[in-house]
Structure 1
Amino acid sequence: MPRPMALFGLLRRRPYERMGFELYGAAVAAARAPEYYATLGVPDTTAGRFELISLHVAVLIRRLRRFADKPAQELAQSVFDAMFSDMDVTIREMGVGDLGVGKRVKFLWEGFHGRAQVYATALDAEDMAGLEAAIARNVWAGQPPPEGSAAALAARAQAMAATLEGQGFEGFAAGQARFA
């Protein structure tokens, strides 16, 4: 028979869970800006929206990881967890059965992880050509992007990283993030 304290552990939330969902929500709101789709020609599809959300969340998590202390790492993990909790719900709402959800979430997780690493590496090295190439490859799924769109989106990602860099942990810990 489980001990009562063990049951409380199952019900306890992680310290930054709510803030992780709020930061994830801010990233999603920023990624839904109409100019990405209307002006830059990002495909207004499930895949295109996932790519923009991934870009915003990757840049946000990169910023949180740069604080290099335990609370910031926990908050970064909470943002990641919020994203994939949302992906799980979204996939289920799209009608995928329970047996297929795990495979699809794993596929998205692996894709996000690779993108986040490539974007962070390019941003850290100030490699705009590398960032532009990665964005073009991912966002337009191998199709040629509209003229200048990949460069413009890479410049926005760099500006977003700079804007997030100027924000302190206190704001993030309160669930607030401003994107460029």
Structure 2
Amino acid sequence: MIFSLFGRRKTNQRVVDDTYVHLTEAARQPLFYERFGVPDTVMGRFEMVAMHMVLFLRRAGQADGPLRAFTQEMVDTFFQDIDHSIREIGIGDTGVPKRMKKFAKMFYGRVESYSVALNAGDRVALSEALSRNVHPTLAFSRDSAEGRGMHALADHLFALEAHLAGQPDGSIMDGRLSFVVPEVREAV
């Protein structure tokens, strides 16, 4: 009986890994960087993975039972990926905990700000929150190329959240999480 628990964990990890791969592949769509104006940098890629993770957490938070437990495994995988990335760019063992704490604070801040805007259906607030995170050194302007890109990205987030809401819990638990490819509504 106890050996079946070990096999179950391996199966869960494989599903978590598959699901996380789908999530990161969705975050790497070239259109985010080419048309929405997200910088193709380490931080720009972090922003896109974090954005998709926020949407996953929101979708999973609507479920009961096994999907909620699965969510914790996804969050753990996300932070393991960040840890690995930090080490890969040369941060030593002593600097990793400080950086991880910073990334966790950044991520949960995004969860909060994006959720508030998504819950309110507020495209402008979501665009502004995205702009603060994606382009932290620029003042938000709706008429700038960055502002138009963030409005298009906000529209995509609303569409993607609706798409995720339509996916059955079982499909997600089987590693068949599907993200739609960004639709370009506004050119940057």
Tell me which interval the TM-score lies in, with the shorter structure as reference length: 0.7 to 0.9
TM-score by length of 1: 0.87
Displacement of 1:120 after TM fit?
1.7
Displacement of 1:128 after TM fit?
1.4
**For residue 44 of structure 2, what is the aligned residue in structure 1?**
48
Displacement of 1:24 after TM fit?
1.8
Q: How many pairs were matched up?
A: 173
Detail structure 1 runs of 4+ shifted over 4 Å in the superposition. 9-12
**1:136-175 alignment to 2 at 5 Å?**
136-144=131-139, 146-175=146-175
Aligned Cα root-mean-square deviation (Å): 2.2
CA deviations 1:10-41 (Å, max 9, x no partner) are 99838743322222211110110111111111
Q: Which amino acid aligns with 2:157?
A: A
Structure 1 residue runs of 5 or longer lacking an equivalent are none
Q: Which amino acid aligns with 1:172?
A: I
TM-score by length of 2: 0.84
1:27 and 2:26 matched: no
**1:55-134 alignment to 2 at 5 Å?**
55-67=51-63, 69-134=64-129
Q: Which amino acid aligns with 2:55?
A: V
Cα distance in 2 for partners of 1:170, 1:12 equals 16
Answer yes or no: is the 8 Å Cα contact 1:42–1:48 preserved in 2: yes
Q: Could you say what secondary structure the match of 1:44 adopts?
A: coil
The percentage of aligned residue pairs carrying the same residue is 36
Cα distance in 1 for partners of 2:147, 2:57 equals 29
CA deviations 1:45-101 (Å, max 9, x no partner) are 10111001100111011100111x131211111111110011111111111111111
Larger mean CA deviation between 85-94 and 114-123 belongs to 114-123
Change (3 A) 1:122 1:16: farther
